[in-house]
């Protein structure tokens, strides 16, 4: 055994000496070879994805981002030339049925279409590699990219507009029995001031029973019930995350940037204070590890953002309520006074849309089927009306100027049957400057009726002096 090991060592040393004699090592080429080896798997996955999308008439433009479970690229459709965001799962799947059973795929199919939910355009699955790609609409940026490095705060009107759309997206999700569980600025996308919620890989059904996964939400936006219980939380955790995002959009900095779970709870208590002991006792019942926090009075959110308006501060406190039962819901948040102007504007827009729909719905009764068509018909009517008035003198020129005999009318004038009573007024003798004035006597009023004209004169008058159009219009 010893001899064998010695012999192997001699052979290895001989090979090394031979290699040193034949050529010197090129360390630059060696490092390039190592880098190519480490990036082999990445290039292979990109090649597979590019080949898969090319089969479906898509061309990869550039890589947008990458997460733990997926990567996102910008792709262009070769059919219509539009750009899309293609999210490819890193996990390989065995069948198309398994791909359709993913929570993210089921959630997007159930929630679409909605103006504040990312729209799923196409589902691409490759059986050979087990690769699944979700082709979705492409947005400009997320909220984190929008506020990163910004020095001046956003206008309050824009913040209100964004938060109203975010609450509408969550209200749509919760009303369909789904809660997101990972609301954060990176998952909130915007384009032309339109906000849409994306990344439904962590969503869960409201009808499922806890306990859920504890480490599901990003730590900075994780609700207290997620931190202090063994997965006993509900859809109200989404509203806590919305409150953290709300504060971050206003102040351009995160509210609770904890380094770990304990530091996260400490930062929450520094701002909001230690909750009531009864609430902590309720959290302790569903936690294997015992915890006790010293009583602490928080600094308050109003001190951190002193320029915040009263309605926005009120909504922010209701979203960041420590107790999930007292925390405001998505439907109630939409009815808050902070969104009053947007609600009124939305109602006016809905009433106008319904009025337009009523006009468009009259196609079966012979009315125009769109407002544009109605305006087009009105313009055509005005144009025909102008043409008619222009051509009218030409028509009048062609009329024959000779008398036309009209039918005679036998007009019988009834004799007056009512006699007017004669009132007698007593004569008054009035003296003026010593001399009497003349006496005014009443006279009988008689009704004077004009004698009927001769019928031939009437006929001749109508023949020569009535315009031709008036004869038609009057029925003669």
Positions annotated as catalytic residues are 182
DSSP E strands in 78-182: the ranges are 83-89, 120-126, 131-137, 141-142, 178-179
Name the one residue in this structure whose structure tokens are 């506020």.
147
CA 88 to chain centre: 26
- Please tell me whether 87 is known to bind a ligand: yes
Q: Crossing angle for the helix pair 156-175 and 340-360, nearest 10 degrees?
A: 60
Beta carbons within 10 angstroms of residue 293's beta carbon: 13
d(CA 136, CA 120): 5
Q: 221 and 245 in contact (C-beta within 8 Å)?
A: yes
DSSP code string of 370-404: SHHHHHHHHHHHHHHHHHHHHHHHHHHHTS--S--
DSSP state letters, 183-246: --GGGEEEETTEEEE---TT-EETTSPSP--SS-S-GGG--HHHHHSSS---THHHHHHHHHHH
The whole-angstrom separation of Cα 369 and Cα 341 is 32
Residue 464 CB neighbours (<10 A): 10
Distance CA 362, CA 3 (A): 102
Going by the annotation, the residues of the binding site for ATP are 87
Q: Please state the residue numbers annotated as binding site.
A: 87
């Amino acid at each position: 055994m010893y001899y064998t090991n010695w012999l192997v060592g001699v052979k290895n040393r001989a090979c090394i000496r031979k290699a040193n004699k034949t050529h010197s090592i090129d360390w630059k080429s060696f490092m390039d070879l190592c880098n190519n080896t480490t990036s082999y798997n990445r290039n292979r996955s990109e090649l597979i994805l590019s080949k898969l999308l090319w089969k479906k008439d898509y061309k990869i433009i550039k890589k947008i981002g990458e997460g733990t479970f997926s990567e996102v690229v910008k792709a262009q459709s070769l059919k219509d030339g539009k750009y899309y965001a293609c999210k490819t799962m890193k996990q390989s799947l065995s069948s198309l049925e398994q791909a359709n059973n993913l929570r993210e795929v089921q959630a997007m199919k159930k929630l679409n279409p909605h103006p504040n939910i990312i729209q799923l355009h196409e589902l691409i699955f490759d059986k050979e590699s087990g690769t699944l790609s979700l082709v979705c609409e492409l947005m400009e940026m997320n909220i984190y990219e929008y506020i990163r490095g910004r020095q001046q705060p956003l206008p309050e009107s824009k913040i209100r507009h964004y938060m109203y759309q975010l609450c509408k997206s969550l209200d749509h999700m919760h009303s369909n029995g789904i809660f997101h569980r990972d609301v954060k600025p990176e998952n909130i996308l915007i384009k032309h001031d339109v906000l849409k919620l994306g990344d439904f890989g962590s969503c869960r059904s409201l009808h499922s029973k806890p306990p859920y996964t504890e480490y599901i939400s990003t730590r900075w936006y994780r609700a207290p019930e997620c931190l202090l219980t063994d997965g006993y939380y509900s859809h109200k955790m989404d509203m806590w995350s919305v409150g953290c995002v709300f504060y971050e959009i206003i102040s351009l900095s995160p509210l609770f940037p904890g380094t770990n779970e304990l530091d996260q709870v400490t930062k929450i208590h520094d701002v909001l204070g230690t909750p009531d002991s009864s609430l902590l006792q309720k959290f302790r019942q569903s936690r294997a590890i015992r915890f006790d926090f010293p009583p602490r009075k928080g600094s308050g959110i109003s001190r951190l953002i002193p320029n915040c308006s009263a309605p926005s501060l009120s909504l922010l406190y209701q979203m960041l309520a420590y107790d999930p039962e007292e925390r405001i819901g998505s439907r109630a948040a939409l009815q808050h006074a902070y969104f009053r102007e947007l609600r009124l504007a939305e109602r006016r827009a809905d009433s106008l849309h319904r009025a337009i729909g009523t006009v468009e719905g009259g196609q079966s009764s012979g009315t125009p089927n769109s407002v544009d068509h109605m305006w087009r018909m009105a313009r055509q009517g005005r144009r025909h009306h102008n043409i008619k008035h222009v051509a009218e003198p030409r028509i009048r020129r062609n009329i024959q100027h000779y008398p036309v005999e009209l039918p005679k009318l036998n007009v019988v004038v009834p004799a007056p049957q009512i006699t007017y009573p004669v009132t007698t007024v007593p004569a008054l003798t009035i003296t003026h400057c010593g001399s009497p004035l003349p006496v005014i006597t009443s006279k009988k009023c008689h009704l004077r009726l004009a004698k009927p004209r001769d019928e031939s004169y009437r006929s001749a008058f109508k023949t020569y002096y009535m315009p031709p159009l008036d004869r038609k219009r009057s029925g003669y």
